[in-house]
Amino acid sequence: MLTIVLGILCIMLIIYIVYIQMQLRNINHQLAKRMLEKTKQPISLELINRQLNTLTANINRSLAVEEKLRFDSIKREKNFKELIANISHDFRTPLTAIKGYQQLMENDELTHNQKKKLQIAQKHTEELGQLIEHFFEYSYLINSEPELNMERVNLTNLVTECLAASVPTLEENNLVVHIEETPNIFVFADKEMVMRIIQNLIRNCVQHCNCDVDVRLMSMENAVISFSNPVKNASEIDVNRIFDRFYTADKTRSSNTGLGLSIVKLLAKQMGGSVGASLQDGLLDIRVRLQLLEN
């Protein structure tokens, strides 16, 4: 009789253990479903077990806290984007007025010293204008979903044209750009966006380089645009953050917001591309990868 009772207890215990395992699998299934389908459905439990019920309640509380944190983060990000957009618009009006008054002053009879001071003011005004344009472009990219005009683009020709158009600025800053001769490389991309990427890479060189810049185009799994140049403050540059908004290794932050490379990253991402950077032996190499098309 005792053997029969023990046998029945063992069978009941096995059934109970199997049922608990089924409930644990069910909890895992519900958690996986929440992650894949991004639902807010709380975790439910069919078995009446105090420990499992406590576990489920704690999981639901944790999920609720996480959901609130995510919502707050999205809200802060939205407010930040709106702030950037408003700032970029608000700055344009007084800047236009400043440029207008500077042009009027040029027509006046000024002493040599006054002309020199006006030229310095105009230089800083132009720098401020570039910063505002960066703010405006960045706010536009993060607040909208621009319509892409994806087409077959001759990347080699486009890079050459952008560099040729930037020769006066490069010479003014005593920069020499070396570009390797390469066969025509074609990409499937938005031509205007690719042009803006190249222009931002050139502008980045103007701001941070004081020596030669090497430009290479490579055809691998993707089409790659590479801008590389030696840097003096190599130890201060974090290549893992170089494309983050507002990151800059320039401690003075004189005319640099760190938005230029952030814009490059956003543009590349919108076209299905990617960016990367490496720093080795004092040589910074910035690369943009775009979808390659066969010639």
Strand partners, 227: 215, 286
Q: What is the mean pLDDT of residues 16-41?
A: 80
Look at residue 257 and tell me whether its pLDDT is greater than 60. Answer: no
Residues 216-252: tens digit of each pLDDT: 999 888 999 999 888 777 667 777 778 876 666 554 4
Q: Within 13 A of 281's CA, how many CA atoms are on the CB side?
A: 1
Q: What is this structure's pTM?
A: 0.61
What pLDDT score was predicted for residue 253? Answer: 44
User: How buried is 205 (Cβ within 10 angstroms: 0-12 exposed, 13-18 middle, 19+ buried)?
Assistant: buried
Please give the residue that has the higher pLDDT: either 212 or 254.
212
pLDDT > 80? residue 145: no
Q: For 83-141, how does the pLDDT look when each residue is reduced to its tens digit (9 = 90+)?
A: 776 776 777 788 888 888 888 888 888 888 988 988 899 888 887 887 777 777 777 77
* pLDDT confidence band for 295 (50 / 70 / 90): low
